[in-house]
């Protein structure tokens, strides 16, 4: 796979030398955080707001349209990814760039929109609109976070960042037997509102409009370009680990894919050093508890490589019976 360069631009006044702290969270050797109390999913025939399979837009799963650092909010910053089929540019406002954890709210909206459209196509419900209005407790449950007051109030600031993070996408793809270049740009979410309890000041509901291009992608056509996401994705504590999962889900799918460390670094939008990025990536690889995929490092001509193999495929290879001894002898006799 060819290496892809990513141009990182920082707005005036921001220190380009400031390295992101992307290694916050779990101790070495652990990639997943502990699931919160009461995280078990109920067995309902009709899914509740938090009991819907997670999905994500395939179009932007191979680049980070958000920051991976918990500390550096990156206000008024720009990241540009130059890709073989076009480019993606992410720009933030005064509230800072949306983080990969903020994006969990978008994942919830995409998932429910996809589920509602499936029900609509099956004649079991009305066609859903682009506005999503969940209870904040359902958001936390869906994202597998503790249902505390602090977490609820943090959702409000997450919506501010999502609403002010603008993504421009220009990519070429095949459409009706011809190659076309599609240019589109929009904030990660549109109009938003937060409903608080006047007596307690605590957030109870949030409401926002999903980006138009996401809405069209899911509601138009018979096969929306979305991919399912494993529930344990929300337990991945490292921002880099989350990005690697999204990349594996898109590139490897149910099989395997190999990417260079340098390319993954370029696609991550990280402002930390490549050396530190590799250290954290190796920590994720060595933890051995990554959802759905087995991660392995290999040596490559241009540098270290990450091999991402779906666990079902790896198990099938292990369980596949080899030739029997007598069959080997027969084949050798025939060759002689």
pLDDT tens string 295-312: 999 999 999 999 999 999
Mean pLDDT of the chain: 82
Query: pLDDT-based confidence at 16, cuts 50/70/90?
Result: very low
Is the Cβ–Cβ distance between 237 and 25 less than 8 Å? yes
> pLDDT tens digits, residue range 23-35?
444 545 556 777 7
Find the mean pLDDT for residues 111-132. Answer: 92
**pLDDT (tens digit per residue) in 60-70:** 888 999 999 99
Can you give the pTM of this predicted structure?
A: 0.78
Residue 166 and residue 94 in contact, taking contact as beta carbons nearer than 8 Å: no
The predicted pLDDT at position 269 comes to 95
**205 alpha-carbon distance from chain centroid:** 24
pLDDT at residue 13 is higher than 70: no
Quote the CA–CA distance of 129 and 117 in Å, as a whole number.
10
Question: How far is 322 from 336, CA to CA, in rounded Å?
Answer: 22
- C-alpha span between 205 and 248 (Å, rounded): 33
Closest of 144, 153, 154 to residue 38, by C-alpha: 144
- In order of 58, 140, 145, 157, 207, the CA distances from 202 in angstroms are 35, 14, 17, 13, 15
Of 161, 41, 52, 208, nearest in space to 117 by CA: 52
CB-CB contact of 23 with 276 (8 Å): yes
pLDDT at 292 over 50: yes
Q: Which DSSP letter does residue 202 get?
A: -
In angstroms, the CA 86 to CA 194 distance is 36
Give residue-wise pLDDT tens across range 263-287: 999 999 998 999 999 999 999 999 9
Domains annotated on the chain, with CATH: 1-12+32-230 (no CATH), 236-336 (1.10.10.10)
């Amino acid at each position: 796979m060819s290496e892809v360069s990513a141009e990182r631009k920082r707005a005036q006044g921001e220190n380009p030398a400031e390295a992101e702290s992307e290694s916050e969270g779990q101790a070495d050797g652990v990639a997943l955080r502990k699931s919160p109390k009461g995280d078990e999913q109920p067995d309902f025939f009709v899914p509740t707001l938090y009991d819907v399979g997670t999905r994500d837009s395939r179009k932007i799963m191979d680049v980070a349209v958000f920051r991976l650092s918990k500390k550096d909010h990156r206000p008024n910053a720009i990241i540009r990814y130059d890709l073989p089929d076009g480019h993606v540019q992410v720009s933030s406002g005064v509230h800072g760039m949306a983080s990969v954890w903020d994006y969990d709210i978008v994942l919830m909206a995409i998932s429910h929109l996809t589920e509602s459209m499936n029900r609509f196509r099956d004649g079991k419900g009305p066609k859903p609109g682009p506005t999503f209005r969940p209870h904040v407790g359902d958001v936390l449950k869906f994202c597998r976070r503790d249902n505390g007051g602090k977490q609820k109030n943090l959702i409000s600031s997450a919506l501010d960042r999502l609403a002010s993070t603008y993504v421009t996408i220009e990519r070429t793809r095949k459409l009706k037997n011809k190659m076309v270049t599609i240019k589109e740009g929009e904030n990660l979410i549109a109009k938003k509102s937060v409903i608080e309890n006047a007596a307690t000041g605590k957030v109870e509901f949030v409401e926002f409009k999903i980006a138009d291009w996401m809405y069209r992608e899911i509601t138009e056509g018979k096969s929306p370009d979305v991919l399912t996401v494993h529930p344990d994705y929300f337990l991945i504590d490292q921002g880099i680990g989350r990005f690697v999962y999204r990349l594996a889900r898109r590139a490897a799918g149910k099989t395997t894919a190999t990417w260079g460390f340098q390319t993954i670094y370029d696609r991550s939008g990280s402002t930390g050093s490549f050396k530190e990025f590799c250290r954290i990536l190796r920590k994720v690889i060595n933890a051995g508890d990554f959802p759905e995929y087995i991660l392995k490092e290999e040596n490559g001509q241009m540098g270290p490589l990450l091999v991402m193999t779906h666990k079902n495929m790896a198990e099938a290879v292990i369980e596949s019976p080899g030739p029997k001894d007598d069959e080997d002898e027969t084949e050798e006799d025939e060759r002689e």
